[in-house]
Structure 1
Amino acid sequence: MKGVMYFDQAASSWPKPPAVMDAMMQCMHEFAANPGRGSHQMAVKASRVLFETRKNTARLFGIRNPNDISFALNTTHALNQAIKGFVKAGDHVICTNIEHNSVRRPLEYLKASAQVELTYIPSDEQGNIRLDELKKAFKPNTTLVVVNHSSNLLGTIMPVGEIGDICRAQGVRLLVDAAQSAGILPIDVAGMNIDMLAFPGHKGLLGPQGTGGLYIHPDIDLEPLLHGGTGSQSEAIHQPTVRPDRYEAGTQNTVGIAGLNEGVKFVLAETVEKIHEKEWRQTQLLMEGLLGIEGVTVLGPMLGQNKTGIVSFNINDADSSEVAFILDQSFQIAVRSGYHCTPLAHEAAGTLAKGAVRASIGYFTTDNEVVALIDAVKEIQTQYAK
């Protein structure tokens, strides 16, 4: 929308690179057929775009075999496939207390329905966990550790590589929620000992909504979340064993994946290092400005500490939803307020009673927009102080 300063990148990135929209329109006009369901030229071209997207995504995440990536609707879909497809009755699962509901709810569902044991590793107010607490949490029946790479409330970056080393030493699988890190932080599934990686297409990868995926280690066989047509092994009564078809029942979002391919290519060209450096600099600019306003509290890692482009804050005792409404209606600034689907993180941060305003920076955010947000918060705080 023209004139809107968009600080809700953690929910969905905007704007998108022009090539993303161009690829989607080209697909609609030229080859929006059903991939893997026919041998005619349009279906073949659709299949090629899907495989090219797998190859580019595999390159970004250090994945050797692109077919170990199955496409999903979003990170939530991917996490449900990973958790419900892997965890069995009687298993013990470890996660942190700053996980998103897309992790917490499937795990709590299994705890209630399949006698799965669950341990939450506590964090401090900034979202950091102690690795010795993780080591002490392992049990003989522990099969999985689930951790978000970066908190969607606090911006805290988890030491995934070290957690992966601990899991490998224990013989336990590691599932990483990359909702806030894919396309923003370096990810190497082999170097970080990541066994499953759930990622969105519509956030840091700059693709459209309705896209995402799950990397599954070749030694892991998940029970498919969905069963149905795949275009392969059609004569079999059970779901195919071949990847990625085993986890991709039904027609894929070819148009969206064509757009995702261009978003991934954009990230590869710019590099995640450059993207993170730019977002971190603007994050520091925003934090410094907000911390200079009396009555404003900023959550998460402190100024100068590494984090993603998420800055959550509160103004005195003001309701976070009211602050977000004023920013939207009076200043044309889009942020998100409330609990951000992560109540445990709010509990850790001490904001469970009132939530928080979350401003999140993206690659196309400008310095002028950051300054405008700081000035707007300053003006709102002045009104509340009267």
Structure 2
Amino acid sequence: MKYVYMDNGATSYPKAPGVAERMSDYLLNIGTNVNRGAYSSSFKAENTVYETRELLCELFSFDKPENVVFTKNITESLNIILKSFLKENDHLIVSSMEHNAVMRPLNTLHKVEYTKVLCSDTGELAIEDVEKAIRDNTKAIIMTHASNVCGTILDLEKVGQVCKKHGLFFIIDSAQTAGFLDMDFHGLNADAIGFTGHKSLLGPQGIGGFIINDRINSQMTTFIEGGTGSLSDAEIQPDYMPDKFEAGTLNIPGIFGLNASLKYLLNYGVKDIRDKEILLMNRFLEGLNDIKNIKLIGKNTCEGRTGIFSIDFINNDNGLVSYELSKEYGIMTRSGMHCAPSAHKTLGTFPKGTVRFSLSHFTSIEDIDYTIDCIYKTAVK
């Protein structure tokens, strides 16, 4: 049986060339901690960790490597940003396309209010609705850059302009766009961007982080305290970056893997990766046009979207369809709510959910054609 991986929205596979080898090299030949030992292998690990911060600065057009913080994933990053920044009686604005990595933390901050701006049934955001939601106590806007359900890209350039106009902080969830879109931290008027290493950055699971400017950092408190290898004679957390938010041992093997994937991305070129994926996206959309008994959720063009496609198999249980695609045809997808019930409500697919197909830079034309053929066979049964 042929196998086709179409669940890159959950995690990319395969990973970028060199990722596994770089991680293996660290584990087999280096293996030491950073900021702890005064010996060559520790210095070698430290150099790679710092170089990875610099590579992330290059990717996001940022200029302060020390303000790049490593975490285990973007969910942890967004929790740290929100819970160390927001205070009692603060108000912020979100879109109705947000992932639970934003919504669940907000719903535990009972003394913080938020307004959810409703997007269209294709996931698009009306900037005038964002501006109307601003109150006297509005402190920030936090939004996903692209929906993990339907792939629609939100116009965060305009949102950033609104933030700048009204003096608001701007926090971006780049889980589905970092590595697919060119991102300019300052051009977006961002104050914080959370990222994950294992999706479009093509790195390993278990490594992510966030980038913050000094403006928002000055209003953030520490989130986890502990050893940093710095100021070890003090029993309070250092206030300088990145130690302020990096207590305990980092996922150094993950950082080595991310280092390799970032070098691959930057050498290949984010634009060239996107152009290749758009060719695949067009092929996928064209193939769907002739299939009955299905409904594409979201935008039906490649403009303003990523390579994530949600499909409702009409009059079928989408969970069973996803299972059948795997069992009968070897196609790996994800069904259900995709950890984004608010997005599904906006798109009209709650509570049924959808079958999500998400391609990557490594998906082939043959993979697309085979998947389309199998969607057809499943839909006409």
The two structures have a TM-score, normalised by structure 2, of 0.98
| 1:355 to partner: Cα distance | 0.2
Structure 1: where are the runs of 5+ without partners? none
Matches within 5 A, 1:340-359: 340-359=338-357
1:248 aligned partner? 246
Give the SS at the match of 1:274: helix
| 1:65 to partner: Cα distance | 0.7
**1:305 and 2:311 correspond:** no
| 1:169 to partner: Cα distance | 0.9
Out of 211, 215, 230, the residue aligned to residue 215 of structure 1 is 211
1:26 aligned partner? 25
Amino acid at match of 2:146: S
Which stretch shows the higher mean deviation, 233-242 or 85-94? 233-242
- Give the aligned CA root-mean-square deviation in angstroms: 1.1
Equivalents in 1 of 2:320, 2:349: separation in Å?
Answer: 16
Matches within 5 A, 1:200-279: 200-221=196-217, 222-279=220-277
Out of 350, 358, 361, the residue aligned to residue 359 of structure 2 is 361
**Alpha-carbon deviations, 1:129-182, whole Å to 9, x = none?**
110010011111111100000100010111111111110111100000000001
2:174 aligned partner? 178
Give the SS at the match of 2:106: helix
2:371 aligned partner? 373
Contact (CA 8 Å) 1:280, 1:307: kept in 2 or not?
no
Equivalents in 2 of 1:166, 1:106: separation in Å?
Answer: 24
**Alpha-carbon deviations, 1:6-35, whole Å to 9, x = none?**
000011000012311111011011211111
Equivalents in 2 of 1:316, 1:136: separation in Å?
Answer: 37
Contact (CA 8 Å) 1:291, 1:297: kept in 2 or not?
no
2:60 aligned partner? 61
| 1:236 to partner: Cα distance | 1.7
| 1:272 to partner: Cα distance | 1.2
Q: How many residues align?
A: 379
**1:51 and 2:55 correspond:** no
Equivalents in 2 of 1:227, 1:91: separation in Å?
Answer: 24
Contact (CA 8 Å) 1:208, 1:260: kept in 2 or not?
yes
| 1:291 to partner: Cα distance | 2.6
**Alpha-carbon deviations, 1:95-148, whole Å to 9, x = none?**
0011000000111111x2xx1111000011110111001001111111110000
Contact (CA 8 Å) 2:293, 2:380: kept in 1 or not?
no
Amino acid at match of 1:357: V
Equivalents in 2 of 1:328, 1:304: separation in Å?
Answer: 26
**1:158 and 2:157 correspond:** no
Equivalents in 2 of 1:121, 1:246: separation in Å?
Answer: 33
**1:136 and 2:132 correspond:** yes
Instruction: Tell me which stretches of 4 or more aligned residues in structure 1 moved more than 2 Å.
Output: 303-306
**Alpha-carbon deviations, 1:292-334, whole Å to 9, x = none?**
2011100111224321000110111211110100111110010
Give the SS at the match of 1:118: strand
2:282 aligned partner? 284
Equivalents in 2 of 1:230, 1:295: separation in Å?
Answer: 57
Amino acid at match of 1:248: E
| 1:66 to partner: Cα distance | 0.7
Equivalents in 1 of 2:241, 2:171: separation in Å?
Answer: 19
Equivalents in 2 of 1:13, 1:157: separation in Å?
Answer: 19
Structure 2: where are the runs of 5+ without partners? none
Give the SS at the match of 1:8: coil
Equivalents in 1 of 2:279, 2:18: separation in Å?
Answer: 26
Contact (CA 8 Å) 2:17, 2:264: kept in 1 or not?
no
Equivalents in 2 of 1:168, 1:304: separation in Å?
Answer: 29
Give the SS at the match of 1:18: coil
Amino acid at match of 1:214: F
Amino acid at match of 1:240: P
Give the SS at the match of 2:273: helix
Equivalents in 1 of 2:4, 2:245: separation in Å?
Answer: 38
**Alpha-carbon deviations, 1:319-370, whole Å to 9, x = none?**
1110100111110010000000000111011110310000001000001101
| 1:235 to partner: Cα distance | 1.5
The two structures have a TM-score, normalised by structure 1, of 0.96
| 1:224 to partner: Cα distance | 2.0
1:332 aligned partner? 330
Matches within 5 A, 1:65-214: 65-110=64-109, 112=110, 115-214=111-210
Equivalents in 1 of 2:126, 2:320: separation in Å?
Answer: 35
